[in-house]
Structure 1
Amino acid sequence: MSIRRITAAPGAVGPVGPYSQAVVANGFVFTSGQIPAGPGGLDDQPESFSDQVRQAIRNLESILTEAGSGLEHVVKVNTYLTSADQLEEYNRVYDEYFGPHRPARTSVCVSLWGVSLEIECVAVVPGADHG
């Protein structure tokens, strides 16, 4: 089994701790949770919630691209929101990116540190041996 760790994908905010942005194993990409921070870190977040969702998904997209995958190959998404009131707007933006692919998804409300949401996913790497 080969394992590749992605620690600094171009275009995605770097990890804020001792972990990989993603791990590629047996043809699957497992991402760490992505927040709505831009290249400047936590101080570089869009103001509107919908733009924060877009930024978090763009961060995921950068990491998936570095791993040889993409949003169209996502099979599972876990979403962490800070309020149930965010779900309708989240769904609207989420559909812009994942609408036709419809990966499996779990969404929960939690308390987060300085961000309004976090998104992680599992994707396949096209053409890879999936174990």
Structure 2
Amino acid sequence: MKRIPAASGSPEPVGPYSQAVVSGNLVFTAGQIPVDGATGDQPDSFEEQARQTLRNLESNLLAAGSDLDHVIKVNGYLTDPSQLETYNRIYMEFLGHAPPARTTVCVSLWGVALEIDCIAELVTKT
């Protein structure tokens, strides 16, 4: 098993966990949030927050030896049901070519509007 503490460009973990773990032929990511790793800031609009979160997810997948093309399951956590339409539109920009299985729920989160984690197939040796 290989642990990825933090990928270049993504924010540092906010707790004692790895951003991604490779086990066998699978990559399991921790929940990614809409924080820019370089500045520590969150975009103002939900649309840009969704894009930032998916860019962070992609960075961690690449660091682990996978990519968005090999995602097989996504869990999305939103804080407001009205975000779903925008989330779906942005999600399609990143994962719409061959949508993986997905669960999306509305929850209360700590200081962020959304969080996304996934499981992907390993593409390269890490």
Partner secondary structure for residue 50 of structure 1: helix
Structure 1 gaps of 5+ residues are none
Structure 1 partner of 2:99? 102
After the TM superposition, which parts of structure 1 deviate over 2 Å for at least 4 consecutive aligned residues? none
May I ask how many residue pairs the two structures share in their alignment?
A: 124
Aligned with residue 66 of structure 2, among 66, 69, 80: 69
Q: Once superposed, what is the RMSD of the aligned Cα atoms? A: 1.0
Shift of residue 127, structure 1, vs aligned partner:
5.9
Partner secondary structure for residue 75 of structure 2: strand
Aligned partners of 1:112 and 1:8: how far apart in 2?
A: 21
Aligned with residue 83 of structure 1, among 57, 62, 80: 80
Structure 2 gaps of 5+ residues are none
Alignment TM-score, normalising by the size of structure 1:
0.92
CA shift in 2, pair 1:37/1:26, >3 Å? same
Alignment TM-score, normalising by the size of structure 2:
0.95
Structure 2 partner of 1:11? 9
